[in-house]
Amino acid sequence: MKGLSRHSMDNKEFSQIRHFLGKTQGELARLLCVSPKAIQSFEQGWRNIPASAERQLLFLLSLKRSSDESTRPCWEIRNCPIEWRENCTAWEFKAGHFCWFINGTFCQGYFQGSWEQKSLICRQCEVFRAMLPSFFEGRLVSVRVFIILFSAVISIVISEAPEYLNTRPSLADQGG
């Protein structure tokens, strides 16, 4: 994983969201509590976008989008079983349209860990994608995102089922 960014938002996406929100670099800097120079650096790709800035920018985007249309909660859209709902912080706080923003959610049968891993999973989900403006539709998942997501899945499998790692079929099992 060396050399890969830990965050999933790139400079073009950052800039597109700023424009969609109708904010200047200075206005967005005040909203994110960073300097205008930092906003310029994020948009130029000179600096990685911190997870805190990414989360807040996506939150502002979702507030703007949610004022345009009503959305169903994630547990209805994803048809989550009641056992999953009862373990999920989004269900507990009745924040189903902000599930992607809240840490500790129980999605796809697992507690979601760090923001970096969670955001990669959420970006593939229809709940998250419903709040994005149309210019994000059809965006391809980059190789970097695929590698990070694949690594996260492998780490979950390893942590959930370590007994399977030491089982290998013998030649006798394979008929040889």
The residue among 22, 45, 69 that closes a domain is 69
Beta carbons of 93 and 85 less than 8 angstroms apart: no
Mean pLDDT calculated for residue range 154-169: 53
Q: Which of 3-17, 77-91, 103-117 is predicted with the least confidence, judged by mean pLDDT?
A: 3-17
pLDDT band at 6 (very low <50, low <70, confident <90, very high): very low
Does the pLDDT value for residue 79 go beyond 60? yes
The residue among 52, 69, 86 that closes a domain is 69
Domain limits at 95? 70-161
- Cα 145–3–147 angle (5° rounding)? 25
Mean pLDDT calculated for residue range 54-60: 89
49 lies in the same domain as 132: no
Residue 144, judged by CB atoms within 10 A of its CB (0-12, 13-18, 19+), counts as middle
Token pair recorded at residue 156: 């979950």
This prediction's pTM = 0.63
38 lies in the same domain as 93: no
CATH of the domain at 54: 1.10.260.40
Beta carbons of 102 and 95 less than 8 angstroms apart: yes
pLDDT score at 135: 57
Q: Is residue 171 part of a domain?
A: no
Number of structural domains, the chain? 2
Does the pLDDT value for residue 4 go beyond 60? no
